[in-house]
Structure 1
Amino acid sequence: MPDASENRTWRLGIDVGGTNTDAVVIDGDLNLVAATKSPTTEDVMSGIVAAMHEVIAQIGADAARNIGFAMLGTTHCTNAIVERKRLNKVAALRIGAPATTAISCMADWPVELKDAMRVRDFLVHGGNEFDGREISALSEDEIRDVARVVRDEGFESVAVTSVFSPVSDAHEKRTAAILREELGEGFPITLSSEIGSLGFLERENASILNAALYDVARTTADGFEAALASEGLADVAVYLGQNDGTLMSVDYAKRYPIFTIACGPTNSIRGASFLTQEKDAVVVDIGGTTTDVGVLAHGFPRESMVAVEIGDVRTNFRMPDLVSVGLGGGSLVRQLEDGCVTVGPDSVGYLVTQKALCFGGDTLTATDIVVAKGLAEGVGDPVLVADLDPALVDAAYAEITRIIEDAVDAMKTSAGDVTVILVGGGSILAPDALEGSDNVLRPENFGVANAVGSAIAQVSGQVAKVFSLSETPRDQAIAESKRRACDEAVAAGANPDTVEVVDVEDIPMAYLGDALCIRVKAVGDLML
Structure 2
Amino acid sequence: MKRIGIDVGGTNTDAVLIDGDKITASIKVPTTQDVMSGVKSALAHVAAHIGDTPRPLDAVMIGTTHFTNAVVERARLERVAAIRIALPTGASLPPMCDWPEDLYRAVDPMIFMVHGGHEYDGSPLVPLREDEIREAAMKIRDAGVTSVAISATFSPLTTECEDRAAEIVRSIIPEARITLSNSLGRIGLLERENVALLNASLQSLGKTTVQAFKTALAEIGLDAPFFLTQNDGTVALADVAAANPVFSFASGPTNSMRGAAFLTGLNDAMVVDVGGTTSDIGCLIGGFPREANNIVHIGGVRTLFRMPDLLPIALGGGTVVDPETGAIGPRSVGYRILQEARVFGGQTLTTSDIAVAAGMIEMGDPSLVRDLDPTFVQDTLARMRAMVAENFDQMKTSAEDVPLIAVGGGAFLIPDEVPGASEVLRVENAGVANALGAAMAQVSGEVDQVFSDMSREQALAAAETEARAAAVAAGADAESLQVLEIEDIPIAYLPGGARRVRVRVIGDISFG
TM-score by length of 2: 0.95
SS at match of 1:71: strand
2:462 pairs, out of 480, 485, 491, with 480
Equivalent positions of 1:172-211 (< 5 A) are 172-184=162-174, 186-211=175-200
1:400-415 correspondence runs (5 A): 400-415=384-399
Q: Does 1:504 align with 2:486?
A: yes
Q: Match for 2:23 among 21, 32, 38?
A: 32
Q: How far apart are residue 115 of structure 1 and its match?
A: 2.2
1:274 aligns with 2:265: no
Task: Look up the match of 1:296.
Answer: 284
Shift of 1:387: 4.2
Question: Are the equivalent residues in 2 in contact too, given 1:88–1:156 (CA < 8 A)?
Answer: no
Q: After superposition, where does 1:94-113 map in structure 2 within 5 Å?
A: 94-113=84-103
Aligned pair count? 510
Match of 1:310 among 285, 298, 323: 298
Q: Kindly provide the CA deviation profile for residues 270-325 of structure 1, in whole angstroms up to 9, marking residues without a partner as x.
A: 11111111101111001111111111111111111111111111111111111111
Alpha-carbon distance in 2 for matches of 1:173, 1:49: 41
1:127 aligns with 2:117: yes
Alignment of 1:316-331 (within 5 A): 316-331=304-319
Partner in structure 2 of residue 155 of structure 1: 145
Residues 330-375 of structure 1 show CA distances to partners (whole Å, capped at 9, x for unaligned) of: 2223354xxx632222222233333333334443322222223322
SS at match of 1:181: helix
Conserved 8 A contact 2:50-2:56: no
8 Å Cα contact 2:32-2:335 kept in structure 1? no
Tell me the secondary structure at the aligned position of residue 461 of structure 1.
strand
Superposed displacement of residue 64, structure 1: 9.8
| Cα pair distance change 1:310/1:64, threshold 3 Å | farther
Picking from 451, 471, 481, the partner of 1:489 is: 471
Structure-2 residue corresponding to 1:6: none
1:82-126 deviation per Cα after TM superposition (whole angstroms, max 9, x unaligned) = 222222221111111212222211111123222222211112221
Partner of residue 55, structure 1: 46
| Cα distance in 2 for residues equivalent to 1:93 and 1:298 | 39
Which moved further from structure 2: 77-86 or 358-367?
358-367
Matches for 1:332-371 after TM superposition, within 5 Å: 332-334=320-322, 336=324, 341-371=326-356
Go from structure 1 to structure 2 and tell me whether the alpha carbon gap of 1:138 and 1:403 turns closer, same or farther (over 3 Å shift).
same
Tell me if the contact between 1:56 and 1:64 (Cα under 8 Å) persists in the aligned partners: no
SS in 1 for 2:322: strand
Residues 110 and 140, structure 2, Cα contact 8 Å, conserved in 1: no
Q: Partner of 2:58: helix, strand, or coil?
A: strand
Query: Aligned partner of 2:384: which letter?
Result: I
CA deviation map 1:476-520 (0-9, x unaligned): 111111111111111111111111110111223355465321111
Does the 8 Å CA contact 1:281/1:421 hold for their aligned counterparts?
yes
CA distance in 2, matches of 1:95, 1:274: 45
Which of 108, 132, 135 lines up with 1:118 in the alignment?
A: 108
Does the 8 Å CA contact 1:44/1:76 hold for their aligned counterparts?
Answer: no
1:452 aligns with 2:424: no
Alignment partner, residue 45 of structure 1: 36
**Alpha-carbon separation, structure 2, partners of 1:508 and 1:203:** 21
Structure 1 match to 2:211: 222
Between the aligned partners of 1:142 and 1:64, the Cα distance in structure 2 is: 61
Among 397, 403, 408, the residue aligned to 2:381: 397
CA distance in 2, matches of 1:153, 1:361: 50
Per the alignment, in what secondary structure is the counterpart of residue 521 of structure 1?
strand
More displaced stretch, 140-149 vs 497-506? 140-149
Distance 1:220 1:76, change over 3 A: same
Letter of the structure 2 residue corresponding to residue 26 of structure 1: I
Match for residue 518 of structure 1?
Answer: 501
Query: 1:404-445: CA deviations, max 9, x gaps?
Result: 111211110121111100000100111222111012111110
Question: Which letter maps to 2:205?
Answer: V
Q: CA deviation at 1:46?
A: 2.8
- Paired AA for residue 208 in structure 1: L
Question: Which ranges in structure 2 are unaligned for 5 or more consecutive residues?
Answer: none
User: Structure 1's 45 and 64: CA in aligned 2 closer, same or farther, altered over 3 A?
Assistant: farther
Q: Whole-Å Cα distance in 2 between the matches of residues 115 and 204 of structure 1? A: 17
Structure 2 counterpart of 1:524, one-letter code: G
Structure 2 vs 1, CA of residues 228 and 62 (structure 1 numbering), >3 Å: closer, same or farther? Answer: farther
User: In 1, distance between residues paired with 2:77 and 2:335?
Assistant: 27
SS of 1:92's equivalent in the other structure is strand
Q: CA deviation at 1:197?
A: 0.6
Distance 1:255 1:82 in 2: 20
Q: Distance in 1 between matches of 2:337 and 2:96?
A: 40
Q: Which residue of the partner structure matches residue 430 of structure 1?
A: 414
Contact 2:148 2:200 in 1 (8 A): yes
Q: Residues of 1 paired with 2:250 and 2:316: CA distance? A: 18
Q: CA separation of 1:343/1:85 partners in 2, compared to 1, >3 Å: closer, same or farther?
A: closer
- For structure 1, which runs of at least 5 residues remain unmatched after alignment? 1-8
Q: Does 1:255 align with 2:266?
A: no
Letter of the 1:447 partner, please give it.
Answer: G
User: 8 Å contact 1:424–1:450 — kept in the other structure?
Assistant: yes
Distance 1:226-1:302 versus aligned 2 partners, 3 A rule: same
Secondary structure in 2 matching 1:341: coil
Task: Give me the whole-angstrom Cα distance separating, in 2, the residues matched to 1:110 and 1:46.
Answer: 32
Offset at residue 134 of structure 1 (A): 0.7
Task: Confirm or deny: 8 A CA contact 1:241 1:260 kept in the other structure.
Answer: yes
Question: Which shifted more, 124-133 or 277-286?
Answer: 124-133
SS at match of 1:396: helix
Q: Aligned equivalents of 1:375 and 1:520: distance in 2?
A: 45
User: What's 1:372 paired with?
Assistant: 357
Match of 2:12 in 1: 20
Q: SS of the counterpart of 1:23?
A: strand
Separation in 1, partners of 2:153, 2:18: 46
How far has the Cα of 1:160 moved from its partner? 0.7
Structure 1 Cα separation of the partners of residues 449 and 9 of structure 2:
33
User: Superposition RMSD on alpha carbons, in Å?
Assistant: 1.8
Match of 2:403 among 419, 423, 432: 419
Q: Percent identity?
A: 50
Which SS does the other structure have where 2:353 is aligned? helix
Q: Secondary structure at the match of 1:13?
A: strand
